Amino acid sequence: MKLIIAIVQDEDSQKFISEMMKHGFSVTKLATTGGFLRIGNTTMMIGVEDERVEEALSIIEKICKSRKQVVTSPSPMAGTTGVYIPYPVEVTVGGATVFVLDVDQFKKL
């Protein structure tokens, strides 16, 4: 058995959960916050039998697509004034960060 931990953007989370459940996977959802953009994301934990890992990963890849987004980033103004002026920056968001871990024991109590 494996434990898949998938960190996805909040925007993808509902569709992700629906698609996983439609294929018979149980999903535990944890609300988390990303470090770089400090925007909401969702960490999903999915217990998967070894033979279904590739199926689960293909669903994650299908749902969680990367896309470009413009965000406002603070920029220090010249000099020693300590003033920050926000300016727009295009970044890639979405996709998923996925970990697949071995599970030594699983019990549902």
pLDDT greater at residue 7 or residue 10 = 7
Report pLDDT for 106. Answer: 86
**Residue 7 in this model has a pLDDT that exceeds 80:** yes
50 neighbors 2 (Cβ within 8 angstroms): yes
Give the per-residue pLDDT at 109: 85
| Contact (Cβ atoms closer than 8 angstroms) between residue 53 and residue 97 | no
50 close to 100: Cβ distance less than 8 angstroms: no
Q: CA 47 to CA 36: how far, in whole Å?
A: 28
Global pTM reads 0.73
In one-letter notation, the amino acid at residue 89 is V
The span from the CA of 109 to the CA of 107, in Å, is: 6
Each residue's pLDDT tens digit, 14-69: 999 999 999 999 999 998 876 655 667 889 999 999 999 999 999 999 998 876 66
79, pLDDT greater than 90: no
All domains in the chain, ordered by first residue: 2-66+93-102 (3.30.70.120)
Report pLDDT for 75: 55
84-93: per-residue pLDDT in tens? 666 676 665 5
Are the beta carbons of 13 and 42 closer than 8 angstroms?
Answer: yes
> Buried b / exposed e across 2-13, counting CB within 10 Å, b at 16+?
bebebbbbebbb
